[in-house]
Amino acid sequence: MPVTERFFKSKDSERGSIEAGLTLIPTTAFFLLVLQIVISGGFQIAERVSLQNVVTRGALGDSQSAELFAAKNRVVSSESVSLPGGGELILASSEVSTPRVTNFLTGDPRMKVEAIAIRE
């Protein structure tokens, strides 16, 4: 009897299938966890580039306009420190919420980024 025929005719062919399906639970949890890490990392990079862009432009042209990329619950803070020899150092930090892809995370995932620039 061929192997395939024996497989389909076997009375035990469905044994363990539900249990095997249960392994999808941790697999899905792992997938969502990795997806959350990737999305949060992407958001952090986008926020970092955006914040650095704004701070550098502000330091060069004294622009006050904020053009950070769209995200919710952003908290931005900045301060300046005078440098020896003239000029000042602008320090900015931003904390932004990232999308939550799974309810396994109880809290609101937030990413913090920093940027600096020299104003002469």
Partner 1 sequence: MDFRNHPLTAEFSFGERGSAISEFVLIATPLFLPALLFFNAMNNTAKEEMNTSMLARQAVRAFVTAPDLMTGHQRVKIILDQYAKLEGTRGVGGTAGTAGSGSLGDLENSGSLTSPTRYEFTYNIKCYAEKCLEPGSLVELELYRKIEPIDKIESSKDRKASAVARSYVDKWRDTP
Residues that bind partner 1 (CB under 8 A): 15-16, 19-20, 22-23, 26-27, 30, 33-34, 37-38, 41, 44-45, 48, 52, 81, 83-87, 89, 91, 93, 114-118, 120
For the chain, the maximum distance between any two Cα atoms, rounded to a whole number of angstroms, is 90
- With H, G, I as helix, E, B as strand and everything else as coil, classify residue 18: helix
Number of other CB atoms surrounding residue 113 within 10 Å: 20
Q: Closer to partner 1 by CB, 108 or 114: give it.
A: 114
Nearest CB to partner 1, comparing residues 29 and 66: 29
How near is the Cβ of 20 to partner 1 at its closest, in Å?
Answer: 4
Q: What are phi and psi of 93, to 5 degrees?
A: -135, 150
CB 96 within 8 A of CB 68: no
Q: How far is the CB of 107 from partner 1 (least distance, A)?
A: 18
> Cβ 114 to partner 1, closest distance in Å?
5
Q: Which is nearer to partner 1, 93 or 97 (CB)?
A: 93
In the chain, DSSP assigns E strands to: 75-82, 88-97, 110-119
